[in-house]
Amino acid sequence: MNSSGEIGFKPLNLGRWVIWGFTALVFIVAPQVFGSGFARALLSQMGIMIIFALSYNMLLGQTGLLSFGHAVYSGLGAYFAIHALALIGKGTLVFPVSLLPLVGGAAGLFFGIVFGWLTTKRAGTTFAMISLGLGEMLFAASLMFPGFFGGEAGISGNRTAGGPFLGLAGLTFGPDLQVYYLIAAWTFLCMMAMYALTHTPLGRIANAVRDNPERAEFIGYDAQRVRWIMMMLSGFFAGVAGGLSAINLESVGSGAVHATVSGGVLLAAFIGGVLFFFGPILGAIVFVFFAFALSEYTPAWHLYLGVFFVLLVMYAPGGLSSLILLNLRVAKFGKFSRLRDPYVGVLGAALALAAGVALLIEMTYHVTLGIGTTPKVAVFGFPFDTGRSESWVFVTALLGAATASFEYMRRRFKVEWDRITVEIEDWRRDNPEEDS
């Protein structure tokens, strides 16, 4: 952002073209590099989650609305899309499958208008509670009306029902690679649209309403209306994400409107960081990794995700994106080499601590859930016998040693980090004209 106040003229923002071009390239190349079926499914989920998390951040990061019920819009979008897909399958509706996310988006927009009118009457904590209540209401209702919601089993469709895309033989969206590219194209489009929105007057006024609603009202904007419009647009993109997931999974159940979905998108956006546009993108990737990759290995992935989230809230409320940018700033000032040793120490100790905690959790879970018939549990490929006391002694010793060394390393790191931060701040204060 140009903070010096002068009016700049840039006919071609080269850096932006490079970044978007690189993103597109990553989208195209990724499924070729990670070719397995599981990896492609993961990539498709990441694309959908990126749209969802970005749409969520239109509320939290840009308008300051903390929502606990965003699954309402993605879920209803998914339901309308899957019903449309079922109608296409029956032949009663003629509509290209590739544009189904628009159906989801329209549903999200519609419910954003209806529910948004109600929820955006209040901001702050009350908004959070209303959105939670609305989400719970929809979930309870979804079990009540099996005709539309299909109960727990859900509604299913067939994504190849529309026939070949643009008459191209073989392009039916049946194979997972074709679905991935459809999702990637939508993700790219939505990313650009949402990024463009942050630069419109509406996006800027939303920021003003977030920071100081009273002042925004004094200069003539209706804060409630701004929140409402942002809610509609956010609902639209959430609906697109829902529509894509309907195509991807070919089935939508009442789980799509459950509170865990709303909670998940909140975690994703916050883990990546809500202060920067690219934060939720990063968060979506990390979240999908936790939710789909880690859950293959451990039943306790919720616990790891929760601990990771709480640590971020406590020590880095700006999320991963702010951590990256802070380190880039240190590197820009040429001071990163001084952090290298403290980093090696603190990360090494953190790794040992994480391993100890994970071991303890996995072994305990193994006992309480009674997984398998043997008392052995494999952690990181090593077998641990939960029936023998030596394993427990080992874990306790590891935890103790790791905790002590982590605390020591953390303090050492903090001293150096604080020193560097002070140096940079001093320099910026002394050289305001060179600061950008």
Partner 1 sequence: MTLDLFLVQLLNGVSYGLLLFMLAAGLTLIFSMMGVLNFAHTSFYMIGAYVAYQISSWIGFWAALVLAPLAVGLLGAAVEHWGLRRVHKWGHVPELLFTFGLSYIVFELVQVIWGRAPVAYQVPAALDGPVGWLQAAGITFPQYRLFIMGVAVLMLCALWLLLTHTRIGLVIRAALTHPEMVEALGHNVPRVFMLVFGAGCALAGLAGVIGGNAFVTEPGMAGSVGAIVFVVIVFGGLGSLAGAFFASLLLGLVDAFGKTSGTSLAALLSVAGIDVVPGSFGYPVLSMTLSQVAPVLPYLLLVLILIFRPRGLMGTREN
Contact characters 239-278, partner 1, x per CB under 8 A: --------------------x---x--xx--x--------
Q: Considering only residues 405-434, where is the footprint of partner 1 by CB under 8 A? A: none
Which helix (H) or strand (E) covers residue 335, if one does? Answer: none
Q: Which stretch binds partner 1 (CB under 8 A): 14-22, 47-55, 133-141, 172-180?
A: 133-141
Residues in contact with partner 1, counted by CB under 8 A, come to a total of: 43
As measured in angstroms, the least distance from the Cβ of 253 to partner 1 is 18
As measured in angstroms, the least distance from the Cβ of 135 to partner 1 is 8
Question: Residue 202 phi/psi, 5° resolution?
Answer: -60, -45
Q: Considering only residues 298-337, where is the footprint of partner 1 by CB under 8 A? A: 300, 302-303, 305-307, 309-310, 313-314, 317
Q: How large is the greatest C-alpha to C-alpha distance in the chain, in angstroms? A: 71
416 within 8 A of 338, measured Cβ to Cβ: yes
Question: Residue 253 phi/psi, 5° resolution?
Answer: -115, 180
Please, is 416 exposed, middle or buried when counting C-beta atoms within 10 Å of its C-beta (0-12, 13-18, 19+)? middle
114 binds partner 1 (CB under 8 A): no
Q: Which residues pair with 378 in a beta bridge?
A: 383
As measured in angstroms, the least distance from the Cβ of 20 to partner 1 is 30
Task: Using alpha carbons, select from 163, 165, 204, 161 the residue that is nearest to residue 182.
Answer: 165
3-state secondary structure of 404: helix
As measured in angstroms, the least distance from the Cβ of 262 to partner 1 is 11
Q: Considering only residues 346-385, where is the footprint of partner 1 by CB under 8 A? A: 361, 364-365, 368-369
DSSP state of 416: H
3-state secondary structure of 385: strand
Task: Using alpha carbons, select from 237, 10, 202 the residue that is nearest to residue 112.
Answer: 237
89 binds partner 1 (CB under 8 A): no
Q: Considering only residues 139-158, where is the footprint of partner 1 by CB under 8 A? A: 140-141, 143-145, 147
Residues whose CB is less than 8 angstroms from the CB of residue 371 and which lie 6 or more positions away in sequence, other chains included: 299, 365, 377
167 binds partner 1 (CB under 8 A): no
389 binds partner 1 (CB under 8 A): no
Which residues would be at the binding site for partner 1 (CB under 8 A)?
66, 118, 121-126, 128-130, 132-134, 136-137, 140-141, 143-145, 147, 259, 263, 266-267, 270, 300, 302-303, 305-307, 309-310, 313-314, 317, 361, 364-365, 368-369
